[in-house]
Each structure stands twice: as structure tokens, then as C-alpha cells.
Amino acid sequence: MKLVNFHAYLKEVLKNATYELGESSNVIVAEAPDLPGCFTQEETFEEARESLIDAIELWVVVALSKGEMLPVVNDCVLAIGKEADVSIKSELVYG
């Protein structure tokens, strides 16, 4: 597993996101299947993706505030606390 900062974790979650046309209305439903219950809907793909990014951020903040473990996504784990400092520094040094 790889420790990553929030930006990298968000990118990994978005890699697995799904976008589908709504069943009963003309909307795009965007879902982050790695984060249970994390989905949104908007009129366009671009709006749905932006809204999904906001929903992912909120999902992570709520999970962390409850002391929950975040899921491993594409073999990546969000670095928290001192782990985050190390992850960010290594990303700056090793790219």
C-alpha cells in the first residue's frame, strides 16, 4: 500500500467513479463506489463531476471526524497526521 496526500487520494477515488444517466429524469448520476453512499446528480457531466468532488471531500471529512478508517483505494491509503507530513515531503522530493 502507498500512503498518499488528500489530493492523490481524491484522484484515485475519481478514477473509479461512475457516471450514468438518471432513470426517471434527465440528470447525470455520479457515484464514488469506493466510498459507500457517496453520490450526487446534476444536469451535465461536468457539473456532476464537480459536485462529486465536493461530495467526496465531505464524505472523507465526516468519516475522519467520526474516527472511521478510510477505505484503501487502488492500493492507496490517505496519510493522516504525521503520516501526511511524510507523504507530502516524499511527493515533493520524489515526485
Domain range for 35 is 2-94
pLDDT band at 83 (very low <50, low <70, confident <90, very high): low
- Torsions phi, psi of 9, nearest 5? -60, -45
Assign residue 56 the CATH number of its domain.
Answer: 3.30.160.250
Quick check: pTM over 0.95? no
Tally the domains of the chain.
1
For the chain, where are the alpha helices, taking DSSP H only?
6-15, 45-65, 82-94
CA–CA dist 20, 7 (Å, integer): 24
10-38: per-residue pLDDT in tens?
A: 999 999 999 999 887 889 999 999 999 99
